[in-house]
Structure 1
């Protein structure tokens, strides 16, 4: 299986934890990892030492960004826009591949991803992914679709991508033009670029393959989702990929994600095992207890108890 990862040095620990969970849930399975990151020599040494004995190939992407316009949004640093451009030019950066799973590193793999990776994509489908919980609008981009296969976006944190179509459809050129034109109004650049352009070109996958925290912790309207309530309940109880999105991050003490303990389980099997959250104190213990109580009450109200 081919996996595509992008991360900066602040997420190195999480990348190692994610890969530990991946290998532990796929004994003997071969993975070819294609990575863009800072400090490539250091990351290469770390991963080869950390996962010595695992069945994987390791390639680093060295992309020449000089010919592309710099993003001027004050929230983006130089490395961030390089990550965005890498994601949007994935077809040309991996010219010998026809399929890849693009996966964020703030994730724990909790089962086999083989079935998802082998998902059949129709002629008009560029991706397979999981729907966001929140309803989305494209009007700010001047796009007003008459029909969408979901009222919500797909989440770009876990995307199975048809790279052959990506190249044939000229996706890199179209997405680059979109992000430059709309930079000032983008929230999440990759997501706010791929969704408005390809809102009907994705296959809806089970939420168990990208269980981001909105499915677990917040009330939402099932009618806006391309899933039944039962599908969501099954996914929340047996997730294959757990995505620690938003501010709910298990490496912070105040985090109350229901699957936070899984992160720590795999962390303890890495060289980062001695990591301790800096926000652990008596005051935050009280705050955390209150948050857990509030979430439990909300889940009962919404039928997820």
Structure 2
């Protein structure tokens, strides 16, 4: 099993905690090889990552982040350039044909054996569906019925990426759309990989934060999406998550490593943190502006019958329309 994380030094502790959860829950796996796409990770954090992996009898390799990415002018918004590392793993790991890519802000809550053994011969990527309005798909040239995968947990067929010369296509897309990549590398993946080269995984393999704060019917109204995952998939992802993805959410201003977090599954992050080399890492300060903190508090107090249509319009109609104008050169 080949596992890849991509991280800067800031997020290296989160990668280490996620890695700890992976190793604990996959002890029965015969072989696990860990690869870290390294964006200037400190010697201290590299040492801890190495100790973590070797402590479970596994091996670890650090791969420098593609220099051409660092030198490309991209509007990365609130994200880190490391997030683009997953797009170029086929060339960074030339001897591998398949990998599982896991984001740093996750907890692996079970075995990945069945996912690793899945037949990927006919596909480039496998991942769980994201929860976005249909307009986001249309903006990048997809049909509203097409698969739109969340990039937090992915299985890549690197051999197929090389065969289709997809890294060149990824890089051209990044350059051509550098002023507006709505969801950065995730947009690139979904826009550039053909529909018949995607496999949709169960939602439980990417149980992101918003699923834990809204009822299914509220999600439907909020996202303005006619083509979303089923209620059964939603319930399974909430109750039995294989991968917990602690994404940002307008209903939860912080995350489990930040002070005053209230994520319903945040206790799992804290459980694995205690078992990691970063057990003594203090909680991060909430560095949002006062304005954003006040907005977050107001949102949580707002009745759902008012909140859902309001936020639904903002995120499902207004923002994607605004992004489209920027993309089309009208903004």
Q: Which moved more, 1:157-166 or 1:209-218?
A: 209-218
Corresponding position: 1:57 with 2:59: yes
C-alpha RMSD of matched pairs (Å):
3.3
Alignment of 1:197-208 (within 5 A): 197-198=192-193, 200=195, 201-208=197-204
Alignment of 1:257-296 (within 5 A): 257-277=263-283, 279=285
Deviation at 1:120, TM superposition (A): 1.9
Deviation at 1:147, TM superposition (A): 6.8
Corresponding position: 1:31 with 2:28: no
Q: Report how many aligned residue pairs link the two structures.
A: 285
Deviation at 1:40, TM superposition (A): 6.0
Partner of 2:108: 109
User: Which of residues 191, 200, 212 in structure 2 aligns to 1:196?
Assistant: 191
Alignment of 1:1-305 (within 5 A): 1-29=1-29, 30-37=31-38, 38-39=40-41, 41-62=43-64, 65=67, 70-73=71-74, 75=76, 80-81=80-81, 83-121=82-120, 123=122, 125-135=123-133, 136-141=135-140, 143=141, 145-146=142-143, 148-150=145-147, 153-198=148-193, 200=195, 201-218=197-214, 219-221=218-220, 224-246=226-248, 247-277=253-283, 279=285
Deviations 1:45-74 (A, max 9, x none): 2223234431311111135525x6833246
Decide whether the 8 Å contact of 2:13 with 2:45 is kept in 1.
Answer: no
TM-score, with structure 2 as normaliser: 0.76
Relative distance call for 1:188 and 1:251 in structure 2 (3 A) is same
2:202 and 2:139 map into 1 onto residues whose CA distance is: 29
Deviation at 1:278, TM superposition (A): 5.2
Relative distance call for 1:131 and 1:120 in structure 2 (3 A) is same
> Unpaired runs of 5+ in structure 1?
281-286
The SS at the match of 2:136 is: coil
1:25 and 1:165 map into 2 onto residues whose CA distance is: 29
Relative distance call for 1:22 and 1:71 in structure 2 (3 A) is same
Deviations 1:195-223 (A, max 9, x none): 11225121111011111112222331196
Decide whether the 8 Å contact of 2:66 with 2:85 is kept in 1.
Answer: no
> Unpaired runs of 5+ in structure 2?
287-292, 309-331
